[in-house]
Amino acid sequence: MLPQLLASGLSVGSIYALIALAMVLIYKTSEVPNFAQGDMGMVCAFAAYAFLVTYSLPFGWALAATLGVALLLGIVFEFLFIRRAKEPTTLNLIIMTLGFQLMLFGFAGWNWGAEQRHFPFPISDTEAVAIGPVVVSELNLVTLVTALVVMGTLFAFFRFTRLGVAMKATQQNAMAARINGIRTRRILAFTFGISSAIGAVAALLVAPITTLDPTLMWDPLLKGFAAAVLGGMTSLPGAAAGGYLLGLLENLFGAYVSVEFKSVVAFTLIVVVLWFRPSGLFARHYVRKV
């Protein structure tokens, strides 16, 4: 039973990890938790649905198109809205992301109606594969692998590409980056774009599990945010770790104590952790100098 729980915990944790990664990516760059993350992914999932069903594109093409849409969505969000905030305090930017989220949510319902749809994923979530003592659904397996692939790509991107290094530089010291010739405003827009793409991948992995409707990503967003906070909002590996931890804890708690209250417990645990480590598990706590 335990290995089974661990496996499914890791699977759902993968989704939380992806969302957490997307959030931390933006938080490190602009110090704002992007509450629009979930619904940006949701809209992309709907777009994927349109590509797959309405236009009958093969899955590969649909996926590429969706990622393109996601990238564009992120860039447009930063360029049209975030950048234009008159007083970019954290609270104001949070409100802006909440506003964008409401707009996306409304748009999705407005455009696609309220009916629930089934998302045609090429990989089934009922067919199972046996790995050792554990039986995982094909979808779970794909989720796990996809998350790892995304993380690996991100890691390589930051380490080995010029753009990645430029992004890291901008995160650490925007002024110094600009002086060194890095076009920080473009980097910012691009960061939002990448983050949006990661969120879209997460949404595509959630959609086959549940039905496709506008409230698709609400719960995963909150969990992903909680996971990011747990791991530390300033640490990318921390965010991923937080995601897996949360997934495991939730599943274990759901099985051994109570299914009904497992979300509450997850949050309570996070608050307890934060009491002892106010900046999350893996991030460093910076004290302001006076």
Partner 1 sequence: MDMKRDYYEDIQFLKDHVERFWFAVMLLALAVLPHLVQNFTMYVVNFLAINVIVALGMNILVGYTGQVSLGHAGFMAIGAYGTVLLMTEGGLPFPLAILAAAFIAAGFGFMLGLPALRLEGPYLAIATLGFGLAITQVIGRWSLFGGRMGLSVPAMRLGGWTITGDKAIYYVIIAVTVLLALGARTLMKSRVGRAFQAIRDSDIAAETLGINLAYYKTLSFAVSAFYAGVAGGLIAFALGFINPDQFSFIHSVLFLAMVVVGGLGSTLGSVLGGITVAYLSLKMDVIQELPVLGAVIEAISERFLTVSGMPNAGWVFMGLVLILVVVFEPQGLYGLWLRTKKYWITWPF
Contact 227, 38 (CB under 8 A): no
# residues contacting partner 1 (CB under 8 A): 54
Q: Is position 92 an interface residue for partner 1 (rule: CB under 8 A)?
A: yes
Contact 9, 251 (CB under 8 A): yes
Question: Whose Cβ is closer to partner 1: residue 174's or residue 222's?
Answer: 222
Question: Whose Cβ is closer to partner 1: residue 173's or residue 219's?
Answer: 219
Block residue for tokens 């890291």? 168
Minimal distance, residue 47 CB to partner 1, in Å:
14
Minimal distance, residue 99 CB to partner 1, in Å:
3
Q: Is position 79 an interface residue for partner 1 (rule: CB under 8 A)?
A: no
User: CA-CA distance, 186 to 171, in Å (whole number)?
Assistant: 13
Question: Whose Cβ is closer to partner 1: residue 62's or residue 82's?
Answer: 82
Q: Is position 288 an interface residue for partner 1 (rule: CB under 8 A)?
A: yes
164-144-239 Cα angle (round to 5): 50
Q: Is position 242 an interface residue for partner 1 (rule: CB under 8 A)?
A: no
Position among 64, 129, 156, 271 found at the interface with partner 1 (CB under 8 A):
271
Q: Please name the amino acid found at residue 60.
A: G
Q: Select the span of 59-67, 137-145, 159-167, 261-269 touching partner 1 (CB under 8 A).
A: 261-269
Q: Is position 263 an interface residue for partner 1 (rule: CB under 8 A)?
A: yes
Using CB under 8 A as the criterion, what x/- string covers residues 169-198 for binding partner 1? ------------------------------
- Residues contributing to the site for partner 1 (CB under 8 A): 27, 33, 81, 84-87, 89-96, 98-114, 214, 222, 225-226, 228-229, 233, 260-261, 263-264, 267-268, 270-271, 274-275, 278-280, 288, 290
